[in-house]
Structure 1
Amino acid sequence: MAGMNLGYLAVRSAAAYPDYPAVICGDSVVTYRVFNERVNRAASALRRLGLAKGERVAILSPNRPELLEVLFATWKAGLAAVPMNFRLHRDEVRYILNHSEAKVLVHAGVYQDDLDRIAGDLAATRVTICLDDLAGKERGHPLTALDYRALLDSGDAEEWVEPVDGDDLAWIFYTSGTTGRPKGAMLTHRILLLMALNTCADIYPFGHDDIGLHAAPLSHGSGLYALPLIAKGGTNVILPSSRFDPETVFAAMERHRVTVLPFMAPTMVKRLIESEARTRYDLRSLRCIVYGGAPMYVEDLAAGLKAFGPVFAQVYGQGECPMTVTGLSRHEHDLNRPDRLASAGTARLGVQVRIQDAEGSALAPGSIGEIAVRGDLVMKGYWRDPEATSATIVNGWLRTGDVGYMDEHGYLYILDRTKDMIISGGNNIYPREVEEVLLCHPAIQEVCVFGVPDPEWGEAVKAVVALRPGHAATEAELISFCRNHLASYKKPRSVDFVEELPKNAYGKVLKRDLRARYWDGRTRRV
């Protein structure tokens, strides 16, 4: 079925607003004319590498302007993008590269050492493109290594957008899965175009006069929200540092007259609210803060509304249904309706949402069950994982793995997760990943990992371990052990020691009972 290539979003804005800033980073300003020309050069250079339509281009870098160029170049060339969290451990990077069968990796220079270590284990990747100047430095791997600047110089600025079907793959969004390994949600050109349109309709009406500041990773939510900004000819401001610092954000907001923060985790929002630096900057240009990725407590929202005014818009969703399943608009963030502030809003245009029981039957308003969604925003499936796809999309309904209820007006309230996913600071962490690493430690007999309440991060990773007889280990030692084998944000923030983990009659660890001790007395379990 014919569809529109996402690359046309850049073409349209370059024609309508050629001299308007598309991307700003520090003192660098790139207009839409120049942005589109650079995208064209990168796209033509990618085609000359001999990649077939639909093959994958992986991206590994902290936020920088080139990420948006590479995304649009990939689409214009008829290829699929595989953006990766820049904080992943090299073992996780290796897995995603091999699983996605990415032929090309575009990366920041800071990852060169890690790339040297895993290069011999890469099955499909044959070309690396470094975004930084590494001229004169020895390449420590056998892959064909190119410099991004040279790649652009070799490309052709002439406009060419590869025709695509609406169901052609555009983005593989890797998220944690039930096996403990990341799963790749397949997002098509049609899905992402509909997402951009619905974002403007439901969440925030992005316009040509909007200036968005990307403080969250472009490899995830913030990158998805760059699409409506570019589609409408708005400006994308990118912080030159990957470290989130409230005062740096405020300074950039004042300098560039930022109107919208396109996507932020509640942890980030809370830090902005609590920072005393906020009062030293002129933030009157701000119209909207889009937040999501984890629940936000009502008391924090109330403080935010007092600090910034009625600028908050909540999104609830997952990579399998970008960006949201439901949303709570700015005008619904009403201090006089704390019950609504506790909700995740109502269904987005383009999706149906329901609560269902374990057999997949719809439940009445007020009944607690699993949240399910269907519609054209739902992913095509999981990349190279038909079993996980069939277990997640049943009779056309995407099983989110979250538990909640809907009131009689269609407002969704999230209570818990059927899957044991931990969301800490907006990052998804699957306990089994951490457990498998800890079980490699010689002193550990058994372990159970889950999320516990944390006032800053929403949830923090807790490990409860039983040691082998005659062995010893400290909390600091085990946290350090995890840091050496996982992305730092996945490591436990605390470790409790027990003689034996509680189990049922069949020998299964009673994780829910362990977890309940730390959530006792709270209305929310996430």
Structure 2
Amino acid sequence: MTLTIADLVRRHAGERPTAPAVTCGASTLTFAELDRRSSQVARALLRDAAGHGDRVAMIDKNSPAFFEALLGCSKIGAVLVGVNWRLAPREVADILRDAEVSLVLAGPEFVGLLPAGQAAVKVVVLDDRYEQWLQGPDSTDPRHDVSPHDVVLQLYSSGTTGLPKGARITSANLLPTADMAKTAWRMSERSVNLVTSPLFHIGGAGYSLTTLSQGGHTVIARQADAAGLLAEVERHGVTHAFWVPAVLASVLDAPEATGADLSSLELIGYGGAPMSGFLMLRAMERLSCGFLGVYGMTETSGTVLYLPPEAHDPAGPRAGLMRSVGRPLPWVEIEIRDPATTAPLPANAVGEIWIRCAQNMVGYWNQPETTAATLVDGGWLRTGDAAHRDEEGYVFLHDRLKDMIITGGENVYPAEVESVLADHPAVADVAVIAVPSQRWGETVKAVVVLRPGATATEEEVIAFTRTRLARYKCPTSMDVVTELPRNASGKVLKKDLREPYWSVTGAGGPATVAGPAGPAGPGRTAAAAALVRRWSVDWLNGRHPEVCEEILSPDYTLLIGGYLLGPRDEYVPATLAQLNRYPGLVVTAHQVIAAGDRVAVWFTEHGASARLEGRRAAWPGVALFRSNGEQLTHCFCEEDYYARRRQLDRSASDVVDAPAVAPWDPVPGTANPAAESVVKAWLGERDLRSAPVVIDDAVTGAQPPEQVLDVTGFTVNEMFSAGPQVAFHATQTGVYAGGLDGLEGALGDPALLHLAGIVEVRDARIVGGRVVRDRLGTARSLASRSSAPPSSAPRGSTQVL
């Protein structure tokens, strides 16, 4: 019975002693040799008083010594600590100190990274000195009593946002790779697996165990250069490989790829970073093999979700599955949960991925609080990744929750935008970040590396995205750089890209409301919270005294910049599910409060932001304000707008369906002619052919955009030219009914907006209709009766419907 990872090799050493186990360069170890040398490592560790629970570090490029050390540690219950050789000396010292290592195995070229003055830590250099260290009077397998639940491997996270954390992984966590090799990778004892990922990562260490578990042949690439990898495939008849997108692209672009015999390849896995559709199609055209998408992390001991080769069919009816990271392995449970409430979410709702399986690590080394926040009740592991799952169980990754951009109240996941930008023929590498915006709080910025010899302007790249994404997701600016900053593990350091724009003295300039700006969250909104709390108490006491006792209880809540600020000033990401838990009034400060001179504050009965119209919240009042950083100046007040809307809806019984229309091709950045014809056709049905139409901020006809307030017409939401879905709003003045705050800032005092109808268009077809035939006349009638503000409205306000 297999109990530890050492038992995997013990078994194959007995059954297939002369079969090749590990090859690196010109050196090959059989299973019998690998088993014997790992026993020599175990005996050498015991001679140096390293035993059960002691930590042994290894810092070197990929080599067979890693497997000898890992299996040797497994045989005596010691723990191998993989150290990234790309780290700076200070970072290496921090990890060695944190792990409390007693011995270090170091490649000759990395001895200089080790801290001086640690006499208690023995260093064995991986050259002839390592061979001498292995020699001893006894080289037999020690056969210690080791549990599969003993920690055998400690790998440190990349630390893009803070200090690295040491994930503690047991043999029991790693043993499912044997089943994974058969279920997902379709490996057998005849498989030849090329390992290119660093063995100090789970993508290298964990992945390599798939072939070893099956008795197959593992070929180790000491470093991932394209020419060398192509040569290894031809030399050894490689059947399987795992290549991150950057490595796959380098292989396809290498001159050596032309004419290379890659016919032995059966399956290539990919993951670790978003794979662009453009790169995927190139790979499928060039390589006649299957492709396997995988998702996992150090904390899950590797792969937990996989997208099989059958789901890679770009010409088939389910081509959209190629954007998925797949479904869970048979022994893995997955849920998508609300990150704030932790409640499970239904299909297609975006939330945090939670994983429960035998692969979940046992915790972080010496970090009980971080462990408790990651491994929660019931054996679930919180990944910190945002995703949704469709009705068939396929998971679609959005991004790390911490990297999410909130622009104008809409959530944008950088990975989605990066995937589109990666398809641009001039873009070699890309990162998407949030930068401050006076109007929207945050907007999307692309930071790109262009391909050698390629050119692309900011306007061209942005226009490219607008044909593929909703406009609010598209970059509003672009920087071109020679390379993206990355940490020692190769992950993009987005915090370094963001920092100049969010610092007080950086390119973004000061962005304050009585305090400096920062990323969305507590640090950015503390001053805004104080300002809104002070104002809301004063204003509500004057305007709504009958509800102030209930509303302004100690439990009343603020929603600022996408975060809920509770009565004890605790911040959590705001979601609809979280908002529903607050039956009392919520004061909502639009996120632009922390970025500049304007803020909209909504008061809602049911905890839903005024922008979340799907909640059908009743509004006691809506107010728009300006801020000079010290105080709020009232601009206008709207009382119980939705109550009037509901009354209008109830009085209109004549509902008609809009006609079907032909498809159109989006034209970004212009008043889309096809979109215009759709709206004009609808207007023609109602004898309104002469009415101007506002599409993507451009007015059809002779009127320039600045005269939009002076026309009576119809407005099309900017999403109209972005693709499959659009709502266009028929308004008395031609102004987008949902854009009061933005138009106020651009065009002066807000116009009287009277919603005359809403038509929803999906997939080039007007559906649902829900157009009230006489609503325009009803709105005009109401407008004439409410042209003067009531006496209760504050001075200078404009009363609207």
Is the TM-score greater than 0.5? yes
Alignment-derived partner of residue 116 in structure 2: 119
Alignment-derived partner of residue 617 in structure 2: none
**Distance in 2 between residues matched to 1:416 and 1:393, nearest whole Å:** 20
Number of equivalences = 454
- Alignment check: 8 A CA contact 1:63 1:217 kept: yes
What secondary structure does 1:160 align onto? coil
2:306 paired residue among 327, 331, 350: 327
**Distance in 2 between residues matched to 1:155 and 1:69, nearest whole Å:** 18
Alignment-derived partner of residue 219 in structure 1: 200
What secondary structure does 2:361 align onto? coil
Alignment-derived partner of residue 386 in structure 1: 368
1:154/1:292 Cα in 2 relative to 1: closer, same or farther (>3 Å)? same
Alpha-carbon shift at residue 297 of structure 1 (Å): 1.7
1:160 paired residue among 124, 138, 142: 142
Q: How does 1:87-486 map to 2 (within 5 A)?
A: 87-115=86-114, 118-120=115-117, 122=118, 126-133=121-128, 147-154=129-136, 156-176=138-158, 180-194=162-176, 196-220=177-201, 221-240=203-222, 242=223, 244-261=224-241, 263-335=242-314, 336=316, 337-357=318-338, 358-395=340-377, 396-420=379-403, 453=418, 455=422, 459-460=430-431
1:30/1:3 Cα in 2 relative to 1: closer, same or farther (>3 Å)? closer
Alignment-derived partner of residue 67 in structure 1: 66
Relative contact order, CA 8 A, sep 6+: which one is greater?
1
- Alignment check: 8 A CA contact 1:365 1:406 kept: yes
Alpha-carbon shift at residue 312 of structure 1 (Å): 1.1
What secondary structure does 1:154 align onto? coil
**Distance in 2 between residues matched to 1:175 and 1:502, nearest whole Å:** 33
1:10 aligns with 2:3: no
Alpha-carbon shift at residue 111 of structure 1 (Å): 1.2
**Distance in 2 between residues matched to 1:231 and 1:29, nearest whole Å:** 17
1:83/1:153 Cα in 2 relative to 1: closer, same or farther (>3 Å)? same
- Alignment check: 8 A CA contact 1:57 1:103 kept: yes
Alignment-derived partner of residue 789 in structure 2: none
- Alignment check: 8 A CA contact 1:291 1:312 kept: yes
- Alignment check: 8 A CA contact 1:310 1:333 kept: no
1:319/1:486 Cα in 2 relative to 1: closer, same or farther (>3 Å)? closer
**Distance in 1 between residues matched to 2:392 and 2:435, nearest whole Å:** 41
Post-superposition CA distance 1:185-220 (Å, at most 9, x none): 1111101112x1232243212211111112221221
- Alignment check: 8 A CA contact 2:244 2:273 kept: yes
**Distance in 2 between residues matched to 1:301 and 1:382, nearest whole Å:** 35
Post-superposition CA distance 1:420-478 (Å, at most 9, x none): 49xxxxxxxxxxxxxxxxxxxxxxxxxxxx9994747765598989xxxxxxxxxxxxx
AA aligned to 2:84 is: N
Q: Percent identity?
A: 33
Post-superposition CA distance 1:132-166 (Å, at most 9, x none): 24xxxxxxxxxxxxx21111122633223322222
Alignment-derived partner of residue 429 in structure 1: none
**Distance in 1 between residues matched to 2:487 and 2:344, nearest whole Å:** 39
AA aligned to 1:158 is: T
Alpha-carbon shift at residue 223 of structure 1 (Å): 1.7
**Distance in 2 between residues matched to 1:238 and 1:16, nearest whole Å:** 23
AA aligned to 2:390 is: D
Alpha-carbon shift at residue 77 of structure 1 (Å): 2.1
1:502/1:12 Cα in 2 relative to 1: closer, same or farther (>3 Å)? farther
Alpha-carbon shift at residue 501 of structure 1 (Å): 5.3
1:488/1:464 Cα in 2 relative to 1: closer, same or farther (>3 Å)? farther
Alignment-derived partner of residue 436 in structure 1: none
Of 267-276 and 501-510, more deviation after overlay is shown by 501-510
Alpha-carbon shift at residue 415 of structure 1 (Å): 0.9
What secondary structure does 1:165 align onto? coil
Of 176-185 and 488-497, more deviation after overlay is shown by 488-497
- Alignment check: 8 A CA contact 1:89 1:486 kept: no
1:236/1:201 Cα in 2 relative to 1: closer, same or farther (>3 Å)? closer
**Distance in 1 between residues matched to 2:42 and 2:313, nearest whole Å:** 46
What secondary structure does 1:34 align onto? helix
Structure of higher CA gyration radius = 2
AA aligned to 2:280 is: L
- Alignment check: 8 A CA contact 1:296 1:458 kept: no
Alignment-derived partner of residue 509 in structure 1: 518
Alpha-carbon shift at residue 106 of structure 1 (Å): 0.7
**Distance in 2 between residues matched to 1:348 and 1:341, nearest whole Å:** 17
- Alignment check: 8 A CA contact 1:57 1:104 kept: yes
Alignment-derived partner of residue 36 in structure 1: 35
2:509 paired residue among 500, 505, 508: 500
TM value normalised by structure 2: 0.53
What secondary structure does 1:166 align onto? coil
1:489/1:225 Cα in 2 relative to 1: closer, same or farther (>3 Å)? closer
- Unpaired runs of 5+ in structure 2? 405-413, 437-480, 522-590, 593-718, 724-801
AA aligned to 2:125 is: C
TM value normalised by structure 1: 0.79
Alpha-carbon shift at residue 227 of structure 1 (Å): 1.1
**Distance in 1 between residues matched to 2:323 and 2:520, nearest whole Å:** 26
What secondary structure does 2:205 align onto? helix
AA aligned to 2:507 is: V
What secondary structure does 1:58 align onto? strand
- Alignment check: 8 A CA contact 1:294 1:458 kept: no
**Distance in 1 between residues matched to 2:508 and 2:209, nearest whole Å:** 52
What secondary structure does 1:355 align onto? strand
**Distance in 1 between residues matched to 2:37 and 2:431, nearest whole Å:** 41
- Alignment check: 8 A CA contact 1:392 1:399 kept: yes
Post-superposition CA distance 1:293-348 (Å, at most 9, x none): 11212222122111113421111111111212311112222222321000010012
Alignment-derived partner of residue 427 in structure 1: none
**Distance in 2 between residues matched to 1:488 and 1:326, nearest whole Å:** 22
Alpha-carbon shift at residue 230 of structure 1 (Å): 1.3
**Distance in 1 between residues matched to 2:130 and 2:59, nearest whole Å:** 13
**Distance in 2 between residues matched to 1:281 and 1:179, nearest whole Å:** 41
**Distance in 1 between residues matched to 2:353 and 2:428, nearest whole Å:** 24
AA aligned to 2:341 is: E
RMSD of aligned C-alpha atoms?
3.3
AA aligned to 1:256 is: H
- Alignment check: 8 A CA contact 2:435 2:508 kept: no
AA aligned to 1:184 is: G
**Distance in 1 between residues matched to 2:219 and 2:289, nearest whole Å:** 22
- Alignment check: 8 A CA contact 1:333 1:341 kept: yes
Alpha-carbon shift at residue 255 of structure 1 (Å): 0.9
What secondary structure does 1:404 align onto? strand
**Distance in 2 between residues matched to 1:354 and 1:491, nearest whole Å:** 27
**Distance in 1 between residues matched to 2:394 and 2:139, nearest whole Å:** 48
Alpha-carbon shift at residue 490 of structure 1 (Å): 6.5
- Alignment check: 8 A CA contact 2:45 2:51 kept: no
1:71/1:26 Cα in 2 relative to 1: closer, same or farther (>3 Å)? same
1:402/1:27 Cα in 2 relative to 1: closer, same or farther (>3 Å)? same
What secondary structure does 2:131 align onto? helix
1:491/1:341 Cα in 2 relative to 1: closer, same or farther (>3 Å)? closer
AA aligned to 1:253 is: V
AA aligned to 2:108 is: G
